[in-house]
Amino acid sequence: MKADELLNKIEGMGIKVIAGVPDSTLKQFCDGLQTYKGGLEHYVTANEGAAVGLAVGTFLASGRPACVYMQNSGIGNIVNPLASLANDDVYGIPMLFITGWRGEPGTKDEPQHVFQGKITCKMFETLDVPYAVVDKDTLPAQWDEILNRAKTYLDRNLQFAIIVKKGTFEPDREFVWQNGNTLNREMVLGRLLQIIPRKAYIVSTTGKISRELYEQSNAQFGNHDNIFMTVGGMGHASMIAFGVAKERRDRTIFCIDGDGAALMHMGAFAFIASQAPENFYHIVINNQAHESVGAMPTGCQSVNFAEVAKAAGYAYTERITDEAGLKRLEKEIVDIKGPALYEIMVSLDSRKDLGRPKETAKQNRDVFMKNFK
Ligand SMILES: Cc1ncc(C[n+]2csc(CCOP(=O)(O)OP(=O)(O)O)c2C)c(N)n1
């Protein structure tokens, strides 16, 4: 299936709005969406639950269902607005879900996808959302049958989900863009590891930031013992780091976040500022995109995280765009009291041969926890 063909069919169902968060399984679909010439309005929302909210409002004001796309990790974020708002027992709001299936049972995937992959269909069943599973062998007539079935649910103000297996979408037009930033993310992460005291703890975010830190730390120090990688639970790294920081006031804690992840649960900014942990340093690596899953723009590209953190009440904030800024950070950081936030603007490159953690998640947990014994 090509993205354009499906987008055309979705439009044919009377849908005019599509919103969601990008996913690697849906990479070709997302690329197609970004360059689609048809009449769909497209929004990349801060999280998947927010896309459901947008779909609810769209229906209220237009009477038309919207389409919500996401990785299956995002099902957690849609549970509340779906179960307590859109479900037929409450307001009865129709919407079509397109969900990338990471961790499909029987396939090999990363630890964070295994359990979520196993419960994906069950979660839709529990949420009263009928679904169909598609893959690269789903024939055009079968797609049509699935979309016709979906329409019968939407017409009754119910929801329907299409669960998409890896490889379903054919590559078509790749969406390529650059953000104009010059610092390279992996170089910045390597530098940060030199700047951050070895006795500090690091909590890093979901995606390639953790993978790059892992490789850089192994290369520089032969281990990654002081790094907790938030491999799943996107958007929660800063609260995990806060949890560590409040337990260990005698140590400094660095949260190395992504802009997409920071946006996902931005309430953490206000919470952390209000708690004012002096040992907390928040670094947001901002490439204005979800680079780890195909570099689609976040949809909120002009957000200035340093200004947001300042307004939330962080004790110190700064936006860094160049080498001179990194040098400043190197000098300043020793004297600055937290909570501090440095936003570092980076370009959209990453290595093709970037590895993944070799240990299990539990082994990584145990190595990190040894620091506290
Ligand atoms: C709840 C949830 N939604 C979507 C994903 C898929 N996902 C993994 S990494 C990532 C992008 C992260 O973007 P950002 O934080 O900006 O970091 P970058 O990849 O750009 O370095 C996404 C969308 C996920 N893991 N969890």
Q: What domains can you pick out in the chain, each with its CATH number?
A: 3-164 (3.40.50.970), 185-370 (3.40.50.970)
pLDDT-derived band of residue 334, with 50, 70 and 90 as boundaries? confident
The residue contributing the CA closest to ligand 1 atom 17 is: 258
| pLDDT tens readout for residues 256-286 | 999 999 999 999 999 999 999 999 999 999 9
Structure tokens at 102: 């990471």
Q: Which ligand 1 atom sits closest to the C-alpha of 185?
A: 21
Q: Which ligand 1 atom sits closest to the C-alpha of 22?
A: 23
Q: Which ligand 1 atom sits closest to the C-alpha of 24?
A: 6
For the segment 217-244, the average pLDDT, to the nearest whole number, is 98
Beta carbon of 238 within 6 Å of any ligand 1 atom: no
Ranges of H-type helices in the chain: 3-12, 27-34, 48-62, 75-81, 111-126, 140-155, 185-195, 208-221, 237-247, 259-264, 267-275, 305-312, 323-332, 361-370
pLDDT beyond 90 at 39: yes
pLDDT-derived band of residue 173, with 50, 70 and 90 as boundaries? confident
Q: How far is the CA of 290 from the centre of ligand 1 (A)?
A: 6
Give me the pLDDT at residue 372, please. 87
CA distances from 88 to 74, 83, 92, 123 (A): 21, 9, 4, 16
Give me the pLDDT at residue 320, please. 98
Beta carbon of 277 within 6 Å of any ligand 1 atom: no
Enter the pTM of the model. 0.97
Beta carbon of 297 within 6 Å of any ligand 1 atom: no
Backbone phi and psi for residue 228, each to the nearest 5 degrees, phi listed first:
-100, 120
Give ∠ CA 145-148-154 in degrees, rounded to 5.
145
Bridge partners of 347? Answer: none
Residue type, 155: D
For the segment 89-95, the average pLDDT, to the nearest whole number, is 98
pLDDT beyond 90 at 298: yes
Q: Calculate what percentage of the chain has a pLDDT beyond 70.
A: 100
The residue contributing the CA closest to ligand 1 atom 3 is: 74
pLDDT beyond 90 at 32: yes
> How far is the C-alpha of 22 from the C-alpha of 162, rounded, in Å?
15
pLDDT beyond 90 at 85: yes
| pLDDT tens readout for residues 345-373 | 999 999 999 999 999 999 999 999 999 88
Q: How far is the CA of 335 from the centre of ligand 1 (A)?
A: 32
Q: Which ligand 1 atom sits closest to the C-alpha of 232?
A: 25
Give me the pLDDT at residue 209, please. 98
Q: How far is the CA of 208 from the centre of ligand 1 (A)?
A: 9
Beta carbon of 100 within 6 Å of any ligand 1 atom: no
- SS3 assignment, position 194: helix
Give the DSSP per-residue string, 59-109. Answer: HHHHS--EEEEEEGGGHHHHHHHIIIIISTTTT---EEEEEE-TT-TTS--
- SS3 assignment, position 284: strand
pLDDT beyond 90 at 182: yes
> How far is the C-alpha of 269 from the C-alpha of 282, rounded, in Å?
10
Q: Which ligand 1 atom sits closest to the C-alpha of 285?
A: 21
Of 269, 255, 259, nearest in space to 204 by CA = 255
Give, for ligand 1, the residue of 292, 343, 356 to mutate: max count of ligand atoms closer than 8 Å to Cβ: 292
Q: Which ligand 1 atom sits closest to the C-alpha of 295?
A: 20
Q: How far is the CA of 262 from the centre of ligand 1 (A)?
A: 10
For the segment 161-185, the average pLDDT, to the nearest whole number, is 95
Mean pLDDT of the chain: 97
